[in-house]
Structure 1
C-alpha cells in the first residue's frame, strides 16, 4: 500500500496544488464581499446570483448555446463519420481538412470569423456586394445561432473522429447477418449502428455539454456578449463581473454555481446513458 501511495504522490500533489486548492480558495472567496473580497458575507453572493437578471440571462443563453452545440455535435459528427467511413476517393484528405479547424485555437477561429462576418469589411458581405445582393448584419440578425454554427464548424472534425472510431469498432459480421435476414440500410443503422454507438454518443454529448457550459471565447472575441446580451455566455458574464466590475466575491459565487451545474448535468447524462446502454 505504501508503494502504491508513493507512486501516486506526484499526481496527488499536482491535483492538490492546482485543482483542489484553487477550488477551495474560490469557495472561500465566494463567501466574502468588498473590493478585495475581505468582508465575510455568508451566502449573500449566492442569493444575489439567483435574483440577478443579468446572471439569469447569461445562464439562459448558455443553456441554449450548450443545447445547440451538443445536438449539432452529435448529429453533424455522426453524419460526417458515416460519410468518411465509406470507401470514397480522397477520404483521408477530407478527414484531415475537417480536423484542421479543431486543431486551431479558439482565439484564432474567433478572430477569423469576426473578420469574415464584419458588416463593412467582411468577405461574405464583399461577395454579396460583388453579386449585386444586399449585405447582411450577420452578428446582429441571430448572433447566438451564428456563434453556435461557428463552434460546430470548429468541433465537427473532432466529433467525426470519435464517431468514426466507434463505427470501425462495430464487427462487420453484425451487418452481414442483418443483410442475410433482409434488413434494409435504414434498419441496420437504427438497430445495429445507433445502439452500438451508444457509448460514443454518451461521451460526445457529455463533453459537448461541459464545453458548451464553459464557453467563453465565442462571446469575448466574436460578439462581445452583444447585441443586448444575446450572446452573454455565463463564463463571459463571470469575467465581466470579476475583471470589469472588480467584484471577485460575487464572480467566485457564480463560478461555484457553474461547477454544481456542470456536475449535475454530467451525472444526469451518465445515468441516462448507462440506462440506455443496459436497455440495448
Structure 2
C-alpha cells in the first residue's frame, strides 16, 4: 500500500514504490482518442465501400477484360494478353476519333467557361430582373438530357426551327446535323447551352465573395473595368475557375447521349468521340475486349488531364501561390 508523504505544498504525494518509481494510474484501452477514430471510420465507411464497389472494382475488371477477347454471342472468353493494346495502336480509325475528341472537348470547354463567366459577371450586377435571368439560364441544367437533345434534334433539322428563324430574316441555313463541322458545332452548342448554368452559378458564388473594398480602391486609383477584372476578379476567383475547368474537361470527355441522339457519330466520323467509339466497339460490334481497352485509354486521358491541371494550379491559382 503506498504511503503518502507531504510534498511541502500542503498536498500529500505518493511515496515511490519499492522499485524506485512512482505508481501511475492505469489508463484503459478505450480512450477518447480511440472513440473519435472509430466514429470517424464509421462515418467514412459507406463512402469507402461505395468507392471500392463502384469505382475500384469496375476499374480493375475493365483492365482484366482488356486482356481478353470476349464475344458474348459466341460465348467465348479467351485470354489474349496485350493483343488488344497492339490493335489499339494499329487502329486506322483511332487518330480521327482522337482528333474529333480533341476538337469537341476544346470547343466545349472554351465556350462553356467563357460564356459562364460572362453571364456570371453580368448577372452579378444589382439590376432589376437578374433573378429571372439567373433562373432562366440555370433551368436547362435540371431538364432531362434525352428530352433536351431530342428537342434540339428537331430544331436543327434542315426544315427545323433554327432554319425557320433564319429564313424569316432572309438567311438560308445549312443542314446543321449533316455537315462535318456544322454537326460538331451543333453538338457543342447543345451541350454548352444545357450545362452553362451550372458553371454560371459556381462563378456567381465566387464573385459574391470578392470584397467590394478592392473594387472601390481600384476605382480611386483610376483602374478601368477591364483592369479590375484582370487584376482583382480573375485572381480571387481562380480556385473556382480551376474547379469548373476540371469538371468541364472531365464532362466533355464523357459526352455520349447528345451524340447518340443527334448524329450517331456522323457524318463520317466527324462527331465520333472516344466515348461513342467505345460504345460502338463494345455494344454494336460486340468486341468487349477492345472496348475495355478503349476504356482504359479514356481513363488514362482523363487522369492525365486532371493531374496536369492540378499540378499547374500553383502557377495561376491565387490562394496556392
Same fold (TM over 0.5): yes
**Any gaps of 5 or more consecutive residues in structure 2?**
1-36
**Aligned pairs, how many?**
279
1:243 matched to 2:279? The reply is no
8 A Cα contact 2:116 2:197, kept in partner: yes
Of 33, 47, 52 in structure 2, the residue corresponding to residue 16 of structure 1 is: 52
Q: Is the 8 A contact 2:70 2:78 kept in 1?
A: yes
**Separation of aligned partners in 1, 2:271 and 2:154:** 18
Q: Structure 1 residue 181: deviation in Å?
A: 1.7
Q: 1:6 to 1:161 in 2, by over 3 A?
A: closer
Give the superposition deviation at 1:148: 0.9
Which one has more relative contact order, counting CA pairs under 8 Å at least 6 apart?
1
2:257 aligns with one of 202, 217, 224: 217
Counterpart Cα distance in 2 of 1:195 and 1:77: 17
CA contact (8 A) 1:58 1:234 kept: yes
1:73 touches 1:204 (CA, 8 Å); kept in 2? Answer: no
Question: Does the residue aligned with 1:53 lie in a helix, a strand or coil?
Answer: coil
1:3–1:113 distance in 2 versus 1, CA, 3 Å:
same
Ranges in structure 1 where 5+ consecutive residues have no aligned partner? none
- Structure 2 equivalent of residue 64 of structure 1: 103
Change (3 A) 1:131 1:173: closer
**Alpha-carbon RMSD:** 1.8
TM-score, normalised relative to structure 1: 0.94
Report what 2:158 is aligned to: 119
Q: Which has the higher helix share?
A: 1
Decide which moves more: 85-94 or 34-43.
Answer: 34-43
Confirm or deny: 8 A CA contact 1:195 1:277 kept in the other structure.
Answer: yes
1:28 paired residue among 48, 52, 64:
64
Which residue of 248, 254, 263 maps to 1:208?
248
